[in-house]
Chains A and B, each alone.
Chain A
């Protein structure tokens, strides 16, 4: 306890002579300067002095601006369905990574197929891309989370360019619609988008989630027991390509129905292919393809057994942050990875704050 001294002479010696007014002002000013310097440094680090800085908030705000706010839903890839299953390791990746997922026979998985749109009511035929996010939970408690897309490369290589691409698609305040000249102008100024644009020309909305190949797009490192790092990208490729290439029917909500139908007649299998980079391959640029002849490991099989609705299933509360990785897998210096991690965290806080506003929660609340 702090006890105030009650002796006549204050500890620390006799009272100092009073300060002159000038000296007092100078000293008060000195205190103000020190406090302001610390507060100013904090504001600088916090981005308050730099309105141009790209923040997680700005990234998620532009998605909300383009797609509307749908409380409780993911701000991107808002429409989807949970899938439950497991991963069976082939052992082929074991030499490259100490991650338990490659060493154990089976690892449980909670995944989510989705549409890359911030609108949870977007028609399934509105985008030619599908996504698959997975969470592998290892026996040791560590997790591997990955968010994959059916495109082989990302349109751009940096978060700043991604943000500008989103801005180009924002509704014009005057018309309420995006300016149709802005996206072509963006791509004209971004030659790095050519591999993506070349791919998207032939891409069609698929009739099924089950027929697509899902790519990590970003690069990662596998780390072996000696600490050696091998740069990789991975993909999940469907094992039975029964109706590959089938074009989607027009309209709304066929993907989830198709998935439920397929799973009624047995599990779906995907092969985890891990592509090993050569030293000259770009590890920090997701807009660039790697040459097709790179060595590919067949690391094992993803077995999906059942679906769950996204508003009540296990995937709902999972943030598929691509930098949640087990020992034995590391993120690369691809700048999109850190931006995805930061942006997803912001979206996750927004939507977990709104869980009670979800349509399913409202229905459940009804008597």
Chain B
């Protein structure tokens, strides 16, 4: 058996950082959109929908990359609860990245509005028009987005904890392709 990798593969790192930017942008767009009545509301919605679909497509690619490549192991001396928290929070992140765009798509479908990306590109509806279903999906979309933001904050704090306090290889494994010489 070959040695454990010490870093994430280039494609995994690219997807991570690209999606990090997109997801943080998306969370801020969503937060600004639902609390604004100005023209900002309108142009933020027009960014939110195509960006959400792009994230959905990318997270599928990312999961395939995750399952088809080897990940660097967590440090051997990491306390069990931290190792568990690391794994659980990663699968929560993947789950929310996948579910939030689907909920957004489904809630627009349930509202009976055409699901438009831009002025002419229309996606099919994925659930029937139903007011009560809309309300449920819309609330789930909102609450889970707040949960995603909290999870991102924890992820950020944990990454910095590894980089600045523990000074182990965890942050480095996502920052570069090989050890600093």
Contacts from A to B (Cβ < 8 Å):
1-7, 10-13, 15-16, 19, 24, 27-28, 30-31, 34-35, 38-39, 41-42, 45-47, 53-57, 59, 140-143, 159, 316-319, 321, 323-324, 327, 330-331, 333, 335, 337-339, 341-343, 348-349, 352-353, 355-356
Contact = CB atoms under 8 A, between A and B. Distances in A.
Nearest to A361: B132
B28 A335 contact: no
A227 to B, nearest CB: 11
B36 A11 contact: no
Among B39, B77, B78, residue most surrounded by chain A Cβ atoms (within 10 Å): B39
Contacts of A323: 42
Contact of B122 (A6, A7, A141, A159): A141
Nearest to A3: B73
Interface string B58-87: 000000000000011111111000010011
A338 B164 contact: no
Contact of A2 (B37, B87, B130, B157): B87
B36 A55 contact: yes
Nearest to A162: B37
B38 A335 contact: yes
Instruction: Give 7 nearest A-B pairs by CB, closest first.
Output: A12-B169, A47-B35, A339-B37, A352-B135, A46-B31, A317-B131, A353-B135
Size band of the interface chain B makes with A: 35 or more
Contact of B119 (A54, A141, A327): A327
Contacts of A352: 131-132, 134-135, 138
A331 B97 CA distance: 31
Contacts, number: 156
Interface string B24-46: 10011001101111111110000
A169 to B, nearest CB: 19
B74 A2 contact: yes
A190 B149 CA distance: 42
B153 interface: yes
Contacts of B131: 316-317, 352, 355
B6 interface: yes
B71 A35 contact: no
Nearest to B149: A42
Contacts of A1: 71
Nearest to B111: A319
Contacts of B135: 349, 352-353, 355
A2 B71 contact: yes
Nearest to A39: B153
B120 interface: yes
Contacts of A19: 165
Given A46-B31, A56-B35, A11 B6 contact: yes
A4 B78 contact: yes
B37 A343 contact: yes
B145 to A, nearest CB: 11
B4 A5 contact: yes
A2 B39 contact: no
A31 B164 contact: yes
A151 B73 CA distance: 68
A4 B41 CA distance: 46
A353 B142 CA distance: 14
B21 interface: no
B7 to A, nearest CB: 10
